[in-house]
Structure 1
Amino acid sequence: MTGTDVELTSVAAVAENGVIGRDGEIPWPSIPTDKRQYRNRIADSPVILGRVTFDSMREDLPGTAQIVLSRSETGYDVETAYPASGVAEAIATVESLGAEEGYVIGGAGIYGLFQPAVDRMVLSRIPGEYEGDAYFPEWDTAEWSRVKTVAYDRFTLEEWERASS
Structure 2
Amino acid sequence: MKQFFCVAAILVSLVSVARATEVNVCKSGLPLPYAVTVKDCDKGPCSFPRDSLVVWNITFDAPHDLDTFEPKVLATALGLDIDYPLNESEGCKELVDDECPLEEGQRVIYATTMEIKKSFPTINVGIEMTLYTPDEDGNSVGFTCFQIDCKVTE
Q: Which TM-score tier does this pair reach, normalised by the shorter chain?
A: under 0.3
TM-score (normalised: structure 1): 0.25
1 or 2 for the larger relative contact order (CA 8 Å, sep ≥6)?
A: 1
TM-score (normalised: structure 2): 0.26
Q: Higher strand fraction: Structure 1 or Structure 2? A: 2
